[in-house]
Structure 1
Amino acid sequence: MTSGTFQIAFDDRRFVFPEPQDRDHVHGKIKSGGTFYEDGLLRYLAGKVSAPGVAVDCGANIGNHTLFFAGVMGLRTLAVEPVERNFRILERVIDLNGLGGTVEVVRKALDDHEGEVVMTLDSPGNHGMYKVGEGSGATVPATTLDALCADLDQSVKVIKIDVEGFQDQVIRGALRMLERDKPLIAAELASLDEYSSFLSLIQPLGYVPVEVFNRTPTIIFSGDGALSDGTAVVEAKMRAYERRMRVAGPVQRLLQKVGLA
């Protein structure tokens, strides 16, 4: 094994990550857990989506989901990550695992139009919580999913979206691709308001919520009729999450800021 790296396992397979160079929530969880972060979600997706096809990782961070999509599921993967620090680690992860021919990395933000955005970070212990904001921060180019996926020679099978509240803009820039390919969507949505707003954009295309994963809810949406409508279960889980956050939210946000949650 290359020095300065560690291995993780998924079933009978091994993958390599660089050692963390700073205190970061996701990177630390991968190392301490010895497997993929959010592996329950990833196992679910692997059971519903098969190659060939394309995965799009929106907010790829250091490459946890990207590595799973390409290395475990065998999908050609577009990894979109605007933050320079995360992008460098993402490229290293792809190189260490020999997936340069399968993964295309894109150092841009996603929006509903071409342009620029400012990336800000309120939680220095969790580099996965960079978000589009205003004021001081790094200005990066932005594009749309429709533009990125326009010339693909395979269908998009799955999209993961973790963009810290900017998901409506991302999905408005993807409506042509969604209508064409009907990929499974896994979107982190941190409140009922975020869920309702997001669903209103994709429901006209036939999408329904089917399942929820993770501490901060990541909701699975299906648009091809292959999975049962789970609206009642999903919305009940979201209401329960909001009740928990009303009690634990201030503590949770503090832990996130220092990289402990």
Structure 2
Amino acid sequence: MLAFRYLLKHTFHTLRSRAGRALLLLFWKYGHRPRYQTTKVRFGRYEFEVPDAFSWLWQYEEIYVEEFYKFQSSSSTPVIYDCGANVGMSVLYFKELYPQARIKAFEAEPSIANYLTQNLKTNGITDVEIIQKAVWKDTHGVWFGEGQADDASIYGEGTKKHIPSVRLRDQLATETKVDFLKIDIEGAEIEVIPDCADVLDRVQHLFVEFHAYLGQPQALTKVIEVIEQAGFRYYIDTNQHRRSPFVNHRYRNNDVMDLQLNISAWRPHV
């Protein structure tokens, strides 16, 4: 049923690309699988083990069909920071784009980090530095609400556990240039990005998946102000497009968020 609904909504747009046509086949193959059950998926020459096939399919669409992370670099060995690497789809994409890239992959949720580590190993990707810590504004650790696949968060409603953290600002400060910085950290961006303000001048391309949780400040201006002051141009998009927003305040039915945005930022000379 999920695959059928997807096909009705996306067929004409998706069929225009090779990756889109592959996605339709993947939806037929995996879109009916029960939610939140470990599944082995095969796509192209790769094999992954994922905690939820349906959320993985959405990742495939965002990364391979929509190509949210596609960027150009004059270097064959760009530096990429992947904050919120999840099960490794973004890392895989970056390695296809730039096989010799130097990548740091950060993943806070221990169980998801295990999927990430094993998936890269299974597919012969051995030159990525995996950091199993939460990206945060200090190194004192952070309390995380457990999630089921890709939704563990400092604002999560699941069982709370204390996760070791790394201060992203200090990591960036060790680099002279970061070609691509991806930040998908489920709400923690409203604290982390302002903390990185004084070192964002070395970042060339910045992708932020912005989240606003019910009961918490939305704080979009807090993030955008830092991005503007750092000299970026940016583009904001969303996949919500929900009807009746004055009465429909949730991102999805029964979701804990009321806003999710994709912010793509780049230096004007890039």
Q: For residues 48 and 249 of structure 1, what CA distance do their matches in structure 2 show?
A: 37
The offset of 1:46, in angstroms, is 2.6
Contact in 2 for aligned 1:70/1:76 (Cα 8 Å): no
State the SS of the aligned residue for 1:46: coil
Q: Which residue of 1 aligns with 2:152?
A: 130
Q: Could you say which residue in structure 1 is the equivalent of 2:199?
A: 177
Residue 59 (str. 1) matches residue 84 (str. 2): yes
- The Cα of 1:199 is off from its aligned counterpart by 0.9
Residue number among 215, 223, 227 corresponding to 2:239 in the alignment:
215
Whole-Å separation in 1 of the counterparts to 2:120 and 2:132: 14
Q: Which residue of 2 aligns with 1:235?
A: none
Q: Which has the higher helix share?
A: 1
Partner SS, residue 254 of structure 2: helix
Do the aligned partners of 1:117 and 1:141 also contact (CA within 8 Å) in 2?
yes
- Counterpart among 12, 32, 42 of residue 7 in structure 1: 42
Letter of the 1:83 counterpart: E
Query: What does residue range 1-261 of structure 1 map to in structure 2 within 5 Å?
Result: 5-9=40-44, 14-18=45-49, 20=50, 22-23=51-52, 25-29=54-58, 35=60, 37-42=62-67, 45-49=69-73, 51-74=76-99, 75-101=101-127, 103-121=128-146, 124=148, 127-133=149-155, 136-152=159-175, 155-179=177-201, 181-190=202-211, 193-212=218-237, 215=239, 241=241, 245-246=245-246, 248-250=248-250, 252-254=252-254
The superposition leaves residues 78-116 of structure 1 with CA deviations (integer Å, 9 ceiling, x where unpaired) of 110110110000001111121111x11101111122211
Root-mean-square deviation (CA, aligned residues, Å) is 3.2
Seen in structure 2, the aligned counterparts of structure 1 residues 41 and 178 have a Cα distance that, compared at 3 Å, is farther
Identity %: 19
Q: Distance in 1 between matches of 2:47 and 2:244?
A: 36
Consecutive unaligned residues in structure 2, runs of 5 or more: 1-38, 258-270
Residue pair 1:55, 1:158 contacting (<8 A) in 2 also: yes
How far 1:5 sits from its partner (Å)? 4.3
Distance in 2, matches of 1:199 and 1:251, equals: 20
Distance in 2 (alpha carbons) for counterparts of 1:36 and 1:93: 19
Higher relative contact order structure (alpha carbons within 8 Å, sequence separation ≥ 6): 1
